Structure 1
């Protein structure tokens, strides 16, 4: 076989071009990610609502069936006024790939802000980023390509396509104008899924 290739330079050149094309296509599209998951399980901040100062209910905690209820009839604990505050939240909607979970903007007691994903799930893919954007979240194909049309801030690469995760929001990011989050495939300029962040 090699003798035939060496005897015919055109065949050899064609073989090199095909091999290079396959290598580039594999790198660019990363098709194996369709069959793998990157699972993240980070500790999420406890939050209380900004309006009332009351802790957000934790369904797993005993004695939280209704507001103010406690175990053994004891008085409810007073939340710290300097605790973490839930500033905005929204549910993910599906764009190019099925996406679900909740996105939250949390201000920590020390003043730092974080974007929190709870029960998050989407498809794996190449070059996925977490973007805050000023674009509205539109259902269906209309929402796939809008997030690079206006202002946006890239927080980080997506840590994993499944699980709870936290992203730091830089102090200079204006959350009054950037009111949505997109899982943005930077390589193909398309949103996998997005959430509107409402107070």
Structure 2
């Protein structure tokens, strides 16, 4: 084999190897990222009596309300923990993942799916799935804001999903609490 041909083949092989590393990110199979966020709380604004000139110094804090909850079942990767769909006192909603344990991946996201977990954890998020963001960590407790105006009655499961490879790592049905 000639030197120029060997050089070209070496460069092609190097480019393929580099491309594979970029796409698959194999080092993530050996790493963990732990997140430990508290459940957010919303504080209502101080109230003012009609005939007073000073606002009340106390602000009331309302407890969050669970709208749905369920345990994760594994898809393509072992996934455990719980998902809670929570309405905060200010009317906003968050998806809370508790005691999550799953694999890291190259492009892992969190979704609300219109499908039950038996379907959404494998290969189908269903029509109108809502992406809540990149997975913050593959271990621990974390919160994902649900976009304002989202009709929460349409969604049946929370899904940990690898967007790059269109595969579910795991999903939890969101049964009414």
Give me the whole-angstrom Cα distance separating, in 2, the residues matched to 1:8 and 1:107.
Answer: 67
| SS of the residue 2:175 aligns to | coil
Structure 1 stretches of 4+ moved >2 Å: 80-83
Q: How many residues align?
A: 158
- The answer to whether the aligner puts 1:41 opposite 2:41 as a matched pair is no
Q: Which runs of 5+ in 2 are unaligned?
A: 42-59
Match of 2:136 in 1: 159
Match of 2:64 in 1: 84
Match of 1:127 in 2: 107
| SS of the residue 2:22 aligns to | helix
Give me the whole-angstrom Cα distance separating, in 1, the residues matched to 2:61 and 2:24.
Answer: 49
Deviation of 1:86 after TM superposition, in Å, equals 1.0
Match of 1:186 in 2: 163
Deviation of 1:172 after TM superposition, in Å, equals 2.3
Deviation of 1:44 after TM superposition, in Å, equals 2.1
C-alpha distance after superposition, 1:78-131 (max 9, x if no partner): xx8942111110100000000000100111111111100111110111100001
Structure number with the higher strand fraction is 2
RMSD: 1.9
What is the TM-score with the length of structure 1 in the denominator?
A: 0.75
Q: Which runs of 5+ in 1 are unaligned?
A: 47-79
Match of 1:74 in 2: none
Give me the whole-angstrom Cα distance separating, in 2, the residues matched to 1:146 and 1:28.
Answer: 22
CA contact (8 A) 1:151 1:178 kept: no
